Amino acid sequence: MHDTRGHALVTGASSGIGAEIAREYARRGVPLVLTARRLDRLEALATELRARVPVEVIAADLSDPAAPAALVDTLDARGIAIRILANNAGYGVPGRYLKNDWRTHAQFQQVMVAAVAELTWRLLPSIRRFDDGRILNVASFAALMPSADGQTLYAPAKAWLVKFSESLAMENVDRGVHVTALCPGFTYSEFHDVTGTRGKMRVSPKLWLDAMDVAREGIDANERGDVLAVPGWRYRMLGTLVKLLPHRAAMALMARNSRKVRPVD
């Protein structure tokens, strides 16, 4: 292993929560590898962060099934060992299930599930070589709620990520590896701009989170060894309330209110 210190690999690092995760790790003195599709955005962020830590940039499109293996091959070729993996890359597909063609859904599942699973599998041996390996999986508060109209694949993908994190945490605790599923609610980022739904969102300003705060809380929770992290006291309170409701009542509540928050075509 050429890299004895270990880098943090952040996927989807070109904007939003991913960029703030990278900035937070840089503030903590952790060398970085940034990956996403948009090379220009990655280079701009890398230029900003290199004043603090070494930063490598690797452009990758995780909707390509060959991308995870190619990404790890590039890391190996550069002699970079990964100590921290932040699986952040993701997006939403607006509308109901039949509104989009199958290729759209297949690419979504490749990015949100298959690429995460493969990248983690390929990098876990490197992460386990360190005494303080870390995996931070950016899920969503949607994973902890009854699924809403128009979230046919998004919420299930994020719920999978929570369960994936729980199993990984138990499997690797004796190796000093902390695994955390970060479950933010509505967060100021490009997420709703990409899906074209920002103008339709009718959410109380009190429920919006700052991406920088989400990143910091997620990394702090991961360092503590928390398997689940829900930023913001309002979301933690709401999550507790939903657990206390009968499932039928929780489903009815979601059905009544989901379109108020996110109208579905």
Q: Residue 26 — φ and ψ, nearest 5°?
A: -65, -40
User: How many Cα atoms within 13 Å fall on the side-chain side of residue 250?
Assistant: 14
Q: What is the C-alpha to C-alpha distance for residues 93 and 80, in angstroms, rounded to an integer?
A: 34
Decide if 97 is catalytic: no
Q: In CATH terms, is domain 7-261 a member of 3.40.50.970?
A: no
The reported pTM is 0.90
Local structure of 149: helix, strand or coil: coil
Catalytic residue among 91, 97, 154, 235: 154
> How far are the Cα atoms of 18, 49, 233, 253 from residue 24, in angstroms, in the given order?
10, 10, 21, 36
The residue ranges of every structural domain in the chain are 7-261
Backbone region of residue 29 per phi and psi (left: phi > 0; alpha: psi in -120 to 50; beta: other values) = left
Per the structure block, which two tokens stand in for 257? 């209110």
Q: What is the pLDDT of residues 124-179, one digit of tens each?
A: 999 999 999 999 999 999 999 988 888 899 999 999 999 999 999 999 999 999 99
Q: Are 196 and 94 in contact (CB under 8 A)?
A: yes
pLDDT in single tens digits along all 265 residues of the chain: 467 789 999 999 999 999 999 999 999 999 999 999 999 999 999 999 999 999 999 999 999 999 999 999 999 999 999 999 999 999 999 999 999 999 999 999 999 999 999 999 999 999 999 999 999 999 999 999 988 888 899 999 999 999 999 999 999 999 999 999 999 999 986 554 554 544 555 567 889 999 999 999 999 999 999 999 999 999 999 899 888 888 888 788 777 766 655 555 6
Q: What is the C-alpha to C-alpha distance for residues 94 and 99, in angstroms, rounded to an integer?
A: 9
**CA 127 and chain centroid, separation:** 18
